[in-house]
Amino acid sequence: MFKTKKIEDLNIPQHIAIILDGNGRWAKKRHMPRTYGHQKGTENIKTIAIAASKMGIKALSVYAFSTENWSRPDDEVSFLMKLPGEFEARFKDEFKKHDIKVMFSGRKTHLSKENLEILERITEKTKERQGLVLNICFDYGSRAEITEAIKIIAKKVEDKQIKIEEIDESMVEDNLYTRELPKLDLLIRPSGEIRLSNFLLWQAAYAELYFCETYWPDFNESELMKAIVSYNNRDRRFGGLKNK
């Protein structure tokens, strides 16, 4: 455990997001196929979700599969599409024990019928839980999310349910996948890359950003604690000035 601060002395972010990056490079360093890295990365979702739950974090959004990931080699995509079923089979008891609710953010138009049924089943079985909300962003892209929200609002205008002048930021937020989650406080990207890669662009407008060199399969509770300590050292003004 990272010893610089005690968890009880810290301001705990309500909503943390993590880009699950570095699985392939982690596997390559071990002379293993990229799919081995994705396997270990999936297992680490459980580890970090449980750690976040114990820390008192309310919501954890993880970038598991992007709208751009379909362009990867067919064998890698095929492997990744098997992960929802494995996720359900392996982690359901652990998540039940920690009262973790699971939701999914992303497009539903490109997934197989089998995977859609798995996602719906997990969502239904965990919807009444009161602990951490684990938001798995699967076939997710922020531009697609915002575009979908615009279409929903435009249809309401077309149907004369609302007037154009009634459209504001709150209405946009109410039509995003994350509308039921707390505002995003902290966005973490492991692996050494320093970009958002089309992840939670609207939500990250005033989130704190944290980048580290650790590949996702090695990102543990200690690394999460380091990110939270860094978050506590930020001066969050949201565009304004603090009172003297």
Q: Which residues are known to be catalytic?
A: 21, 69
Q: Please give the structure tokens belonging to residue 7.
A: 């968890």
Instruction: Classify residue 209 as left (phi > 0), alpha (psi -120 to 50) or beta.
Output: beta
Q: Radius of gyration (Cα) for the chain, nearest Å?
A: 19
Q: Say how far apart CA 106 and CA 66 lie, in whole Å.
A: 8
Q: Please give the structure tokens belonging to residue 133.
A: 């909300």
Q: Say how far apart CA 117 and CA 84 lie, in whole Å.
A: 10
Note whether 219 and 164 are within 8 A (CB): no
Q: Say how far apart CA 121 and CA 35 lie, in whole Å.
A: 25
Task: State the burial class of residue 30 (Cβ atoms within 10 Å of its Cβ: 0-12, 13-18, 19+).
Answer: exposed
Note whether 138 and 119 are within 8 A (CB): yes
Note whether 57 and 13 are within 8 A (CB): yes
Note whether 202 and 26 are within 8 A (CB): no
